[in-house]
Structure 1
Amino acid sequence: MLEQVRLGLQQALAVRISAGPATGAAQQIWQLGASAQFNVVALPLVAETAWNTALDRLTHSGPPLLVVAERISQQARTHLRTRGICYADAAGNAWLRHAAGLLVALRGNQPAGPGPTPPAPTRLNVAGMRLVFLLLRTPALVACPVREIAKATRFSPSVVVRTLAYLAGHALWSAEPAEWAALRPAVIEHWVEHYATTLRNRLNPQRYRWLTAAPPTWPYPLPAGCVWSGEAAAQRLLGLAAAPPPLLMLYSTLPRAQLAHQLQLVPCQRGPVELLNPYFLPLSPDLEQCAPPLVVYADLLAAATPRAAALAQDVKSCVEL
């Protein structure tokens, strides 16, 4: 309910409303714009005579109190305004007052009962892409409630709700593990389709060349905190003995300058080495020092070369993504 009301209020006010960490099962901090913050509490649909007792139990320290419910009657809205307590409901009624100079009064015109479900996002953003990746790597999460998924993945519940709504809108979501397993190949291909333009370009990819004219002897080990991806990882995953690929791609948690110094690299726009920040922490590299196969597969397709595309299909056929 909190998420439904937050999204409806955000749309009505045309102002971003972010939900902060929850302090309880039905309590959050909402941030409206740059300066207005509210302590948000969800109350059940109860008789107005019981609201006094419920409100008296709530703390009044910190940001102004904002009561959220499925539907707040006219009598209860009047009572809340008299007490100076802000409110918002799923029917579109809202009254917000803040010392930052905010005063909002909205009257809903929807019938009693739950409000409309907010529309699913039209595309996955970076957070959504990362969350889908984690769901693909940890299938047991799909059967968990939203808050448990949020806690396990360290994303806010609002990110989880939006992402699952997006997947459901594309017939790519099920909270049943067996059904999710059946959907997994389609989810992977959908995720990979958006990987290069949405997620990969946010990983600070940079190209380098070797400091010396002659590159090190291939193959060679990486420092701790680094894993191969792309063609170099595909060679290892497939057990191929081959010459070094034209582009060596690796992820590292090391500071970029430190890594470049250790590997004797210097920046070069078309250099044969590409360094990226990982999004699949912890790295937990295997004995081959490779990124997860799904990452390798996505990077190969993002390279958009016939050689990389052929290796991508080999990885998909021979290695569990």
Structure 2
Amino acid sequence: MNTKAYHIGHEALNRFTKHTGIAAEFSPTQGVEHFEDATIRFQDPRFTDVFDMEIKNEVRNHHLPALLDLKERNKRPYILIGQTIFPSVKDYLRKNGINYIDMAGNASIQTDQIVIYIDGQKWQDETHPMLLNRAFSKTGLRVVYLLLIDPMAVNYPVRLLAELTGASVGGVNNTVTGLLAMGFLRRINKTTTRIDLRETLVDRWISGYQERLKPALHLGNFRMKGGMENWEQVKLDAGSYWSGEAAAYKMRKNLFPKAVTIYTGMEKLDFMKLNQLIPHPEGEITLYQRFWNGPIGQADTHLAPVLLTYADLTDTMDPRCIDEAQELIKENKL
């Protein structure tokens, strides 16, 4: 367990004890790969079990598939400790029987002997300046996406990165400088750079994409004249791609989409005319501006990369989509 994880766990449990009077102690253990693992014992006779504990910095919707998988594999009671757990995520955790405590001491714990629910407590997060780094601005997120999707891109010339992402040369330089400063990129020599901490970078990108870049790309929601049963008849040009539920269905033939997500380089009106789409605020077809240039994705099948499909599936907070995202990452590496 690293120092930051220890601090989060210690502070969250201190706040929990302050609110409930129930003391708790935890100790690091060797656990499941990719997780900061510990066990926790509550000093109260109503807690008869030792809990396995997962500690995270921020808990967001794209973490849910992995958390559900961990819960399913755990033989002992399980509790999630998070510095920040967002409200919609808390709702999902409660509905799916995952116990949690956040840094402010807000908690939801259910056992056969006791039920604890605390909400509304505040904690001042002082760690967000990292997220404001220019590497995770709207421009930076475009660049990071290309670096994650194309293994060779990290060593492309700056001007080529700018061309492929639609960013300025200055924007690319700012992004690379920020990634180097945070340890996500490492210079091996004058001509070779590599990505470090890839899993953390993927996590940061998904969070930033869902919160900052994706809303700015939204072109509108639409309905088809023939209804959703004809969604596969939507015509995509060479620069348009399926994502979210539609892409997952085409990859796995499991989740029949209730909503369709499409990224396009076409003008909105041209795409509407091509497919006879009707604007509607609750339309099942959601159109986004494509935020990359060049053949990123499967041009023959018009499928967006798995990373983007996963980000769009988890962004829905729909249990069907969360389950599908969970299966998707079992079969594909992000």
TM-score by length of 2: 0.52
Q: 1:189-238 CA distances to partner (integer Å, 9 max, x unpaired)?
A: 110011112111111331112234x444354363323321101101222x
Q: Please name the residue that 1:210 is paired with.
A: 224
Of 278, 284, 287, which aligns to 1:275?
287
Q: What SS does structure 1 have at the residue aligned with 2:329? A: helix
Q: CA deviation at 1:281?
A: 2.3
Q: Please name the residue that 2:302 is paired with.
A: 289
Whether contact under 8 Å (2:243, 2:309) holds in the other structure is yes
| Match runs of 1:40-51 below 5 Å | none
Q: Please name the residue that 1:174 is paired with.
A: 186
Q: 2:298 aligned with 1:298, yes or no? A: no
Q: Please name the residue that 1:229 is paired with.
A: 243
| Match runs of 1:55-66 below 5 Å | none
Runs (5+) with no aligned partner, structure 1: 1-118
Q: Which amino acid is 1:128 matched to?
A: G
Q: 2:185 aligned with 1:185, yes or no? A: no
Aligned equivalents of 1:161 and 1:223: distance in 2? 33
Of the structure 1 ranges 150-159 and 282-291, higher mean CA displacement relative to structure 2 is found in 150-159
Q: CA deviation at 1:291?
A: 1.1
Aligned equivalents of 1:149 and 1:272: distance in 2? 34
Q: CA deviation at 1:261?
A: 2.4
Q: Please name the residue that 1:256 is paired with.
A: 268
Q: Which amino acid is 1:180 matched to?
A: R
Q: What SS does structure 1 have at the residue aligned with 2:327? A: helix
Aligned equivalents of 1:255 and 1:152: distance in 2? 19
Q: Which amino acid is 2:313 matched to?
A: L
Aligned equivalents of 1:120 and 1:261: distance in 2? 39
Q: 1:219-259 CA distances to partner (integer Å, 9 max, x unpaired)?
A: 4363323321101101222x22453x121111122221222
Q: CA deviation at 1:270?
A: 0.8
Q: Residues 158 and 253 from structure 1, CA distance in 2 versus in 1: closer, same or farther, beyond 3 angstroms?
A: closer
Whether contact under 8 Å (2:223, 2:284) holds in the other structure is yes
Of the structure 1 ranges 253-262 and 126-135, higher mean CA displacement relative to structure 2 is found in 253-262
TM-score by length of 1: 0.54
Q: Which amino acid is 1:186 matched to?
A: T
Q: CA deviation at 1:137?
A: 2.3
Runs (5+) with no aligned partner, structure 2: 1-129
Q: 1:87-140 CA distances to partner (integer Å, 9 max, x unpaired)?
A: xxxxxxxxxxxxxxxxxxxxxxxxxxxxxxxx9963521111101111122333
Q: CA deviation at 1:276?
A: 0.9
Q: What SS does structure 2 have at the residue aligned with 1:275? A: strand
Q: What SS does structure 2 have at the residue aligned with 1:222? A: coil
Aligned equivalents of 1:146 and 1:254: distance in 2? 26
Q: What SS does structure 2 have at the residue aligned with 1:139? A: coil
- Across the two proteins, how many residue pairs are aligned to each other? 200
Q: What SS does structure 2 have at the residue aligned with 1:174? A: strand
Whether contact under 8 Å (1:143, 1:175) holds in the other structure is no
Whether contact under 8 Å (2:147, 2:153) holds in the other structure is yes
Aligned equivalents of 1:140 and 1:275: distance in 2? 29
Q: What SS does structure 2 have at the residue aligned with 1:223? A: coil
Q: Residues 221 and 287 from structure 1, CA distance in 2 versus in 1: closer, same or farther, beyond 3 angstroms?
A: farther
